[in-house]
Structure 1
Amino acid sequence: MPEGNEIHRFAERHAAAFAGKRVHVDSPNGAFPDAEILDGRTLKSVEAVGKHLGYRFGKDLIVHVHLGMYGDFWEGEMPLPPEKGALRWRMWTKTDWMELRGATDCSIFDEAKWQALLARLGADPLRGDADPAPAFEIIAKRKTPIGLLLMDQTIFAGVGNIFRAELLYRARIHPERPGKDVSRKEMEGIWKDAKKLMPAAMEDRRIVTTLPKDRPHKRGTAEDDEVHYVYRRHGKPCFVCGATIKREAMGGRTVYWCPDCQKS
């Protein structure tokens, strides 16, 4: 599932290509039946919050997109490519096009429904207006493992499985530690780290969390097998201490950690 960094990246790219312009819109496979309502209208703005995108054509004409596990965008310069696959939503101008496939949701929200969605979401580290204080207060009262709380989009919006594993490793916190046992100082450190790592991951589609001094190749760009400390590195040695990285199921996903660097 794309994490917040990629969602915000799409918002920036699509705003640059389409916002302020009159666009053509269609739904070749018919899975977005309201597409014809938008054809010929001006896209006013694109907003990203957590893992949600909002394409604002008017106050009560906001296309909500949630990519889910399998959704993705394709983009390019004109001309339009041939229709291919389960093409749900297509938008284009004289110069640019984008296509959406496989999303969990692509539907029109009115302003009230959009605002209700925003009210349900927690603080997004990629938004300058985000206030993490309510999230800190919730976590301080919960016995729920911090590994689950970080993935709760009503607490922190945009944090997914990769960032959960890597932020907890960098903070040296075991994912099973109860939220109430994570100090305010530790949570502030995780938030600060997220605000550094997530924007950096918007530059391309790689999330790099390792420090050069900890990588096997300490100079140059991180190689693909050394971009993460623990995520999908189960059975391999920790870059820092050499212990074998562990994994287990948590909340329907797989969580990863180092048993020595992240004591329970």
Structure 2
Amino acid sequence: MPEGHSVHRLARQFQDVFGGRRLAVSSPQGRFTAGAELLNGHVMTEAAAHGKQLFLRFDHDVFLHVHLGLYGAWNFGGDSSFRGASSIGAPRRIGESETASTGEDHDYAGPPEPVGAVRVRLVSDHGWADLRGATTCAAITSDEAAAVLKRLGPDPLRNLPGDRDEFIRRLSRRKTAVALLLMDQSVLAGVGNIYRAEVLFRQALDPWTPGNAIDAATAGRLWDDAVQAMSDGVRDGRIVTTPPRLWTVANGTVPDADAHFVYKREGLPCRACGTLVGMAEIGTRKLYWCPGCQL
């Protein structure tokens, strides 16, 4: 499932290529026909993300709400003025990074015929976007969008005034292990399995520590590190949590093997202490951590 930085990059991309444009909206697959009819012919005014949720707002105050889930993906294409990635979402070709498009189709004459189960297609005068396989794809009102947001915790990539304190409050009132709480979207929106493992390692925090046993200063550092790590992900288009001194090459491209401290490195020596990185199941997901550093 794409983590929050990918969805924020999607929102920026939609704003860049579709913001202020009147869109033709359809459902080639047929499963979103009624929703497409509500949006068809209207101007997309704003694209925004909160955690893993994407909201495209139209000029009649109706939103396209999308959660990609495990199998959802957006594909884009268009003419030379249309700058978009060709794929964001599943399948991830290189970790969490998307496949880039040059956007230089000088012979563009409209979108191609839909391929596969396209849930929704958005078309402007310069390009198109197709959505497949999403967990959520719905046309909703502003009140319904507000209700979705109310159920979510603060988003480190929005980092609004009060968000840090709200995260500390939500974390401290739960007895659940912090490794589970960081993946609970009602506590912290946007963090997935990679950021969870890497931030806990970078803060040398035992993943099984109950939330209510973490002091406010430590919880604040968790928030700050999530802000930093996820902001780097938005900038880079992939998750790299290690510093340059640990990279085997210095040509601007970080090898996948060097990108993380503990994620998917079970059985390998910890980059900091040499202890073998561990892996365990927690909440039906794999947790990676260093038994030496995170005591």
Tell me which interval the TM-score lies in, with the shorter structure as reference length.
over 0.9
1:2 aligns with 2:33: no
**Pairwise CA distance, 1:151:** 0.7
SS at 2:274 equivalent:
coil
Q: How does 1:16-55 map to 2 (within 5 A)?
A: 16-33=16-33, 34-55=35-56
Partner residue, 1:155: 187
In 2, distance between residues paired with 1:252 and 1:139? Answer: 20
Report the AA paired with residue 242 of structure 1.
Answer: G
Equivalent in the alignment of 2:87: none
Distance 1:137 1:46, change over 3 A: same
1-structure distance, mates of 2:41, 2:61: 16
TM-score (norm 1): 0.95
Once the two structures are overlaid, the 10-residue window that deviates more, 132-141 or 156-165, is 132-141
- Equivalent AA in structure 2 for residue 2 of structure 1: P
- The question of whether the paired residues in 1 share the 8 Å contact of 2:249 and 2:255 is answered with no
- 1:112 CA displacement: 1.2
- Aligned residue in 2 for 1:13: 13
Q: By how many angstroms is 1:204 displaced?
A: 4.0
The alignment partner of 1:118 has SS state of helix
1:202 aligns with 2:202: no
Offset of residue 161 of structure 1? 0.8
Aligned-residue CA RMSD (Å): 1.5
The code of the aligned residue for 2:270 comes to C
Q: Is residue 2:146 matched to residue 1:125?
A: no
Which residue matches 1:193? 225
Task: Give the drift of 1:216.
Answer: 5.2
Of 271, 275, 289, the residue aligned with 1:239 is 271
1:226 aligns with one of 241, 245, 258: 258
Separation in structure 1 between the aligned mates of residue 181 and residue 239 of structure 2, nearest angstrom: 21
Q: Secondary structure at the match of 1:65?
A: strand
How does 1:48-87 map onto structure 2 within 5 Å? Answer: 48-58=49-59, 60-78=61-79, 79-87=110-118
Task: State the 4+ residue runs in structure 1 displaced beyond 3 angstroms.
Answer: 218-221
The residue matched to 1:201 in structure 2 has which SS?
A: helix
- With normalisation by structure 2, the TM-score equals 0.85
Offset of residue 82 of structure 1: 2.8
Kept in 2: contact 1:126–1:199 (CA 8 A): yes
Which has the higher mean CA deviation after the structures are superposed, 71-80 or 160-169?
A: 71-80
> Which amino acid in 2 is paired with 1:37?
L
Is 240-249 or 162-171 further displaced after alignment? 240-249
- State the AA in 2 paired with 1:19: G
C-alpha displacement of 1:218: 6.4
Structure 1: state its 5+ residue gaps.
none
Distance 1:204 1:261 in 2: 27
In the alignment, is the contact (CA less than 8 A) between 1:216 and 1:239 conserved in 2?
Answer: no
In structure 2, stretches of 5+ residues that fail to align are 80-109
Letter paired with 1:150: L
Of 240, 243, 247, 1:211 maps to 243
1:97 corresponds to 2:128: yes
Contact 1:148 1:250 in 2 (8 A): yes
Structure 1 residues 123 and 111, CA, compared in 2 at 3 Å: closer, same or farther? same
The percentage of counterpart residues that share the same residue type is 42
Q: Partners of 2:237 and 2:266 in 1: how far apart?
A: 22
Letter of the 2:139 partner, please give it.
I
Shift of 1:207: 0.1
Please give the secondary structure, in 2, of the residue aligned with 1:45. strand
Deviation at 1:69, TM superposition (A): 0.9
Q: Which amino acid aligns with 2:209?
A: R
- Alignment deviations for residues 140-173 of structure 1 (CA, whole Å, 9 cap, x no partner): 2322100011111111111111100000000001
Q: Is the 1:48–1:54 Cα contact (8 Å) retained in structure 2? A: yes
